[in-house]
């Protein structure tokens, strides 16, 4: 499906009367009509459609070029919406909801038949979250339906953290985008499965494993977290994701990056380096991008996708990135980089 123009509604997330905003009401009306609308959350921009409308959900997959076996996350504005979407909310899930909703945590539960089949890729479970972004909550409430929304980017590319990213990837492919400025966390929500006997972490994200375990005790980490899976139970478990156009390589020993850059440039490649503010002056490459501060990995997460897109803008052919500590939100950062590099370290 194509559109002459993807409409853009500019909205102030600090507006105390967002629920009365004509822009939000118009975008919500498009959702009700079965169209696809991009909108900001606290993590990244989502590409939303009515989670109960199969035809609308198909438009998400068409716009993104997303594989049909990759499930979507359903976004709600009120906890009471759960009763129509899931068959049961175990005690452990209730504890996580009380601790982290609204916020960047997706909880997988047993689903009802009200949800469009394509949302769950045929699974008997569904991932649900309540975003904390004021615009996202206002849009869901105005639409009056749960909104299924993967990231609002071309499938496989870095997720969008600004409306400009969305327009770059999907202009003419979706009905509109609600422009609420830059998102906050910068990487997608954490995904945990509460439909199994012991809570399982499927995707690291804005809520850390440590924070979850402080609430409910030790959880399992899915062994396929860094590998391809035949039937993904969560977004981000299968296929190369978040990748810039140039080939990305993760370098575990930062001291070797200078040599790799020199070798690649001798061969005539346009070379980029992804580093942090502390080390940006150390590298002589065609493009050097400072992605946050190494001593505060939350800033790296926040700027990660924008940084990866910067290499596309400057036509980098080969990109070397420093590795980051796998602790706290650094686990999510490295998960995204490993997916973007197709596991090449």
Measuring CA to CA, which residue among 201, 216, 203 is closest to residue 91? 216
Distance CA 187, CA 204 (A): 9
Continuous segment of H or E residues that includes residue 84: helix 82-85
User: In this structure, is the dihedral angle defined by the CA atoms of residues 175, 179, 180 and 183, taken in order, positive or negative?
Assistant: positive
Measuring CA to CA, which residue among 310, 291, 311, 309 is closest to residue 301? 291
Which residues make up each annotated binding site for ATP? 66, 70, 125, 151, 159, 203, 242
217 backbone φψ class: left, alpha, beta (φ>0; ψ -120 to 50):
left
Measuring CA to CA, which residue among 170, 207, 130 is closest to residue 47? 170
Question: Taking a C-beta distance cutoff of 8 angstroms, is the pair 171, 64 a contact?
Answer: no
Question: What does DSSP assign to residue 20?
Answer: G
Measuring CA to CA, which residue among 126, 184, 188 is closest to residue 153? 188
Distance CA 145, CA 187 (A): 25
Which residues make up each annotated binding site? 43, 66, 70, 75, 125, 129, 149, 151, 159, 189, 203, 242
């Amino acid at each position: 499906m194509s559109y002459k123009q993807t409409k853009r509604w500019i909205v102030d997330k600090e507006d105390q009367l967002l629920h009365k905003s004509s822009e939000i009401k118009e975008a919500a009306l498009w959702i009700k009509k079965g169209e696809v609308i991009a909108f900001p959350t606290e993590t990244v921009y989502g590409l939303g459609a009515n989670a109960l409308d199969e035809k609308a959900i198909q438009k998400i997959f068409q716009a993104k070029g997303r594989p049909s076996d990759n499930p979507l996350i359903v976004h709600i504005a009120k906890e009471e919406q759960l009763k129509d979407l899931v068959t049961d909310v175990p005690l452990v899930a209730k504890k996580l909801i009380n601790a982290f909703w609204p916020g960047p945590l997706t909880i997988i539960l047993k689903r009802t038949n009200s949800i469009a089949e394509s949302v769950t890729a045929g699974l008997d479970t569904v991932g649900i979250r309540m975003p904390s972004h004021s615009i996202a909550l206002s849009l869901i409430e105005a639409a009056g339906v749960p909104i299924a929304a993967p990231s609002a980017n071309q499938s496989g590319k870095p997720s969008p953290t600004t409306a400009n990213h969305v327009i770059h990837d999907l202009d003419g492919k979706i009905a509109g985008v609600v422009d609420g400025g830059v998102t906050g966390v910068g990487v997608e929500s954490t995904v945990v499965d509460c439909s199994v006997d012991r809570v399982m972490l499927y995707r690291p994200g804005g809520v850390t494993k440590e924070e979850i375990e402080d609430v409910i005790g030790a959880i399992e980490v899915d062994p396929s977290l860094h590998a391809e899976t035949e039937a993904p139970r969560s977004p981000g478990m299968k296929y190369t994701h978040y990748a810039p156009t140039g080939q990305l390589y993760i370098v575990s020993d930062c001291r070797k990056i200078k040599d790799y850059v020199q070798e690649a440039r001798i061969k005539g490649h346009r070379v980029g380096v992804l580093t942090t503010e502390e080390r940006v002056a150390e590298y002589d490459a065609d493009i050097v991008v400072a992605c946050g501060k190494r001593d505060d990995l939350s800033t790296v997460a926040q700027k990660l996708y924008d940084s990866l897109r910067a290499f596309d803008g400057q036509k980098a052919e080969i990109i070397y990135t420093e590795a980051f500590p796998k602790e706290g939100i650094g686990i999510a950062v490295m998960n995204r980089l490993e997916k973007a590099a197709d596991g090449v370290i």
